Amino acid sequence: PEEDLLKNLEEVWIHLGRQPRYQEVQKPLSKYHVGTYENRFGSWRKALEKFVSSINNEENTPVDAATSDGETTNLEIKSSSKHKTKRNVNWRLRFIVMRRDNFKCRICGKSPAKNPEIELHMDHIKAYAEGGETIIDNLQTLCSVCNIGKSDLDMHDNAGR
């Protein structure tokens, strides 16, 4: 499915810390060969354009319902949770935060572009367990070592904001 191809492209992009080159889109780095992208989208360039378009597309997801007279009304969704957002970071938000952080750890500056062994994580600046939400202003990119070391410490004052 197109969604799987775009998700794979995002994973490759994040791993490299930059736009993948034509010759790099192959196993083991990519689940799919570049030819698959050419067949689906018409060309490698069109696949990249579709990917960038899907990442940059603002998703407006109001919850609307049609009434019996055909008018649309907004539904209010109530949650019994103390959080307004889910803990997990979706792929789109993850990419946006990593792009904002230049695909580098905000604490030590390490990047998979310079060292392929570096794994980047999403971190809640104010811990989710302490009421922090999964929103762009409360997320940062950390390498696995810094993220594990930080654990659930509140870094809000040290985040450079």
CA distance 65 to 63: 7
Task: Output the pLDDT for position 99.
Answer: 93
Going from the C-alpha of 26 to that of each of 31, 90, 113, the distances in angstroms are: 7, 25, 17
121 pLDDT above the threshold of 90? yes
135-136-139 Cα angle (round to 5): 90
Q: Which residues pair with 74 in a beta bridge?
A: 64
Q: How far apart are CA 82 and CA 149, in angstroms?
A: 26
The yes-or-no verdict on residue 122 having pLDDT over 80 is: yes
CB-based contacts of 71, cutoff 8 Å, min separation 6: none
Q: In which residue are the tokens 């083991």 written?
A: 28
Is residue 136 within 8 Å of 96, Cβ to Cβ? yes
Residues, the chain: 161
Tell me the per-residue pLDDT of 146-159, one tens digit each, with 9 for 90 and over: 988 876 666 654 44
Share of the chain above pLDDT 70, in %: 78
Compute the distance between CA of residue 85 and CA of residue 98 in angstroms, rounded to an integer.
Answer: 19
CA gap 144, 105 in Å, rounded: 9
pLDDT one-digit tens code per residue, 15-59: 887 888 888 888 888 999 999 999 999 998 899 888 888 877 644
Contact 106, 140 (CB under 8 A): yes
Query: What are the tokens at 123?
Result: 């971190």
Q: Is 143 helix (H, G, I), strand (E, B) or coil?
A: strand
